[in-house]
């Protein structure tokens, strides 16, 4: 009997997509698990609040300036 | 002169006559006598005539019936003559695309120039002893260069966006549908009798849908080296055309409201997470699919060096010097496969056509996957980042960002799209591993 290549192709597809998704789903579970563990037991030292707020303010200012510049450029 | 030859002949006669003479000196002496005889003084006119016969113009106008291809195969007269001229014109077109249109010039230029050199008659640069042939045998036929490129790409990749939103990895998986969808398409075409692709060849072609140059080259050299030139050219030229191919598909599959979805800000990812990640992926690959570990292992090696933060020099070499050097060799080596007798075949046309189908299907399935994910509770995903699931780092992510900005200027999707983008690289490496394992 002649082998039906199209059916072979679909078999490849099933196996291939199955493996890709299996791999990535396990990876997602592992990533979530790993992140939980790392953040619980080995948290990074947080920069103190005031500097953070400062940089955020600065960022906002930068964003505002950039947006204004873009608007000006486009008008 | 005559005396010398006579002496040699006498010596030969004696040695033939002597029973104890060994065979080796005989052949050596007869050789030297032969060499003495072949060079005869010729009149100048004959010399000029002989020289004219060795010119490129003559080689193209009167193809040499005894000439064989780079691998000793028969060539038709067309491939020896006007086919070469045509291919040289094709490489000029590639030059134009690379320089003027900016189509992945880093690879397309070396590939095109390699193609130009490979189509030179007489010189046989792509043959086993020409320098292109040497480069090909040095690093392409044994799949070395794509692996080295993967190390460099690993060192350039930041998995932060993926780690802060892991579920976007599914988008990178869905886009691999482009690979397997095209595989079915390619075998269907050969079933219907349009072309004659084997399953190996069909698999090598379909990997173009992974939109990952090194993976395509890796698989092509492993499964169908005869199609390497066409597959590499298709792969890189479509990667360059991502900004043209993807947006219409993305817009057709999404509604206006979906395109304006704002995604939650990415959380900060700690250094330790980034350091553990490459090892984790590799361990998973070892457990699930060892056939994919050459690609994933090299990729994660590069990334691990980068994230370790203690080998800045090695990291710098991987990202710059090594990847640049290998890119030159890879390009020239692939270019050697643009010889007329290997490229100017009907298969090439089908590969080009199937390649674009692979790209489009991959893009579409990424977008559709994002829409499916939105049916479930949880943070909504903007479907525009689904298209970034085809690897093409970082071009595909930039396209998502650009299309998103067209509808809402404040909607920055770039970092969100990098997640599926790098997951796409892992996804296509896994898909490649599956294909390899199926043919072992």
Q: How confident is the model at residue B15 (pLDDT cuts 50, 70, 90)?
A: low
- pLDDT tens digit string along B56-69? 888 888 888 877 77
Q: How confident is the model at residue B149 (pLDDT cuts 50, 70, 90)?
A: very high
Range with lowest mean pLDDT among B26-30, B183-187, B303-307: B26-30
- The SS3 assignment for A50 reads helix
pLDDT of residue B180 exceeding 70, the answer is: yes
Q: How far is B368 from chain A (nearest CA, A)?
A: 15
pLDDT of residue A30 exceeding 70, the answer is: yes
Cα separation, B282 vs B293, in Å, equals 7
What is the share, in percent, of chain B residues with pLDDT greater than 70?
Answer: 91
Q: How confident is the model at residue B156 (pLDDT cuts 50, 70, 90)?
A: very high
Q: How far is A54 from chain B (nearest CA, A)?
A: 17
Contact B427/A20, CB-based, under 8 Å? yes
Cα separation, B105 vs A49, in Å, equals 46
- The SS3 assignment for B229 reads helix
Number of alpha helices (DSSP H) and beta strands (DSSP E) in chain A: 2, 0
pLDDT of residue B19 exceeding 60, the answer is: no
Q: How far is A31 from chain B (nearest CA, A)?
A: 7
Contact A23/B272, CB-based, under 8 Å? no
Contact A8/B186, CB-based, under 8 Å? no
Q: Is-cis flag, bond preceding B394, omega within 30?
A: yes
Chain B residues with CB inside 8 Å of A26's CB?
A: 284, 288
pLDDT of residue B310 exceeding 70, the answer is: yes
pLDDT of residue B21 exceeding 50, the answer is: no
Q: How confident is the model at residue B34 (pLDDT cuts 50, 70, 90)?
A: low
Contact A30/B280, CB-based, under 8 Å? yes
pLDDT of residue B31 exceeding 60, the answer is: no
Q: How large is the average pLDDT for residues B79-83?
A: 88
**Cβ-count burial of A10 within 10 angstroms (0-12 exposed, 13-18 middle, 19+ buried)?**
middle
Residue scoring higher pLDDT (B31 or B404): B404
Q: How large is the average pLDDT for residues B146-160?
A: 94
Q: Are B87 and B343 in contact (CB under 8 A)?
A: yes
Q: How confident is the model at residue B372 (pLDDT cuts 50, 70, 90)?
A: very high
What is the share, in percent, of chain A residues with pLDDT greater than 90?
Answer: 41
pLDDT of residue B22 exceeding 60, the answer is: no
- pLDDT tens digit string along B89-137? 999 999 999 999 888 888 889 999 999 999 998 888 998 899 999 999 9
The residue of chain A nearest to residue B436, with distances taken between CA atoms, is A16
pLDDT of residue B210 exceeding 90, the answer is: no
Residues whose CB is less than 8 angstroms from the CB of residue B253 and which lie 6 or more positions away in sequence, other chains included: B364, B367, B368, B371, B383
Q: How confident is the model at residue A14 (pLDDT cuts 50, 70, 90)?
A: very high
Residue scoring higher pLDDT (A50 or B99): B99
Q: How confident is the model at residue A2 (pLDDT cuts 50, 70, 90)?
A: low
- Helices (DSSP H) in B39-104: which residue ranges? 44-53, 56-61, 77-80, 82-99
Tokens encoding B423: 């997951």
pLDDT of residue B254 exceeding 80, the answer is: yes
Domain boundaries, chain A: 1-44, 46-75
Chain B residues with CB inside 8 Å of A23's CB?
A: 173, 284-285, 288-289, 426-427, 430
What is the share, in percent, of chain B residues with pLDDT greater than 90?
Answer: 62
What is B339-373 written as a DSSP string? -HHHHSSHHHHHHHHHHHHHHHHHHHHHHHHHHHH
Cα separation, A5 vs B188, in Å, equals 7
Q: How large is the average pLDDT for residues B325-346?
A: 91
Give which of B191, B206, B292 to mutate to test A binding, by max A Cβ within 10 Å: B191
Minimum-distance CB partner of A12 among B166, B183, B272:
B183
What DSSP designation does B224 have? -
Q: How confident is the model at residue B33 (pLDDT cuts 50, 70, 90)?
A: low
Residue B23: per-residue pLDDT: 46
What is B150-184 written as a DSSP string? HHHHHHH---HHHHHSGGGHHHHHHTTHHHHHHHH
């Amino acid at each position: 009997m002649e082998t039906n290549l199209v059916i072979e192709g679909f078999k490849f597809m099933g196996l291939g997509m199955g493996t890709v998704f299996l791999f990535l789903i396990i990876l997602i579970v592992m990533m979530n698990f790993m992140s939980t563990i790392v953040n619980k037991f080995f948290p990074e030292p947080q920069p103190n609040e005031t500097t953070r707020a400062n940089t955020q303010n600065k960022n906002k200012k930068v964003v505002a300036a950039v947006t204004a510049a873009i608007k000006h450029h486009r008008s | 002169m005559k005396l010398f030859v006579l002496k040699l002949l006498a010596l030969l006669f004696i040695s033939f006559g002597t029973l104890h003479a060994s065979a080796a000196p005989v052949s050596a002496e007869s050789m030297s006598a032969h060499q003495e005889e072949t060079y005869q003084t010729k009149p100048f006119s004959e010399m000029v005539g002989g020289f004219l016969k060795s010119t490129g113009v003559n080689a193209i106008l009167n193809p040499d019936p005894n000439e064989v291809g780079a691998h000793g195969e028969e060539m038709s007269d067309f491939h020896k003559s006007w086919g070469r001229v045509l291919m040289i014109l094709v490489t000029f077109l590639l030059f134009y695309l690379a320089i003027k249109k900016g189509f992945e010039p880093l690879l397309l230029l070396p590939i095109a120039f390699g193609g130009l050199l490979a189509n030179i008659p007489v010189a046989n640069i792509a043959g086993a002893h020409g320098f292109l042939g040497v480069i090909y045998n040095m690093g392409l036929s044994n799949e070395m260069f794509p692996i080295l490129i993967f190390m460099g790409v690993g060192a350039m990749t930041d998995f932060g966006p993926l780690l802060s939103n892991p579920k976007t990895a599914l988008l990178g998986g869905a886009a691999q549908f482009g690979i397997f969808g095209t595989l079915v398409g390619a075998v269907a075409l050969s079933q219907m009798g349009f072309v004659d692709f084997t399953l190996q060849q069909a698999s090598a072609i379909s990997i173009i849908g992974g939109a990952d140059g090194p993976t395509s080259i890796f698989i092509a050299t492993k499964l169908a080296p005869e199609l390497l030139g066409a597959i590499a050219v298709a792969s890189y030229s479509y990667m360059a055309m991502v900004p043209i191919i993807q947006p219409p598909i993305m817009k057709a599959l999404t509604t206006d409201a979906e395109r304006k979805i704002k995604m939650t800000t990415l959380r900060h990812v700690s250094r330790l997470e980034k350091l553990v990640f490459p090892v984790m992926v590799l361990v998973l690959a070892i457990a699930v699919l060892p056939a994919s570990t050459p690609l994933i292992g090299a990729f994660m090696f590069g990334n691990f060096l980068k994230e370790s933060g203690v080998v800045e020099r090695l990291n710098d070499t991987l990202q710059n010097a090594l990847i640049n050097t290998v890119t030159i060799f890879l390009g020239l080596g692939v270019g050697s496969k643009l010889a007329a007798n290997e490229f100017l075949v009907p298969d090439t046309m089908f590969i080009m056509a199937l390649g674009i189908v692979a790209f489009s299907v991959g893009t579409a399935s990424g977008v559709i996957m994002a829409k499916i994910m939105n049916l479930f509770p949880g943070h909504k995903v903007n479907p525009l980042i689904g298209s970034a699931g085809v690897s093409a780092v970082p071009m595909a992510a930039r396209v998502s960002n650009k299309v998103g900005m067209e509808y809402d200027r404040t909607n920055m999707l770039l970092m969100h799209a990098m997640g599926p983008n790098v997951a796409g690289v892992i996804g296509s490496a896994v898909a490649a591993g599956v294909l390899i394992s199926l043919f072992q």
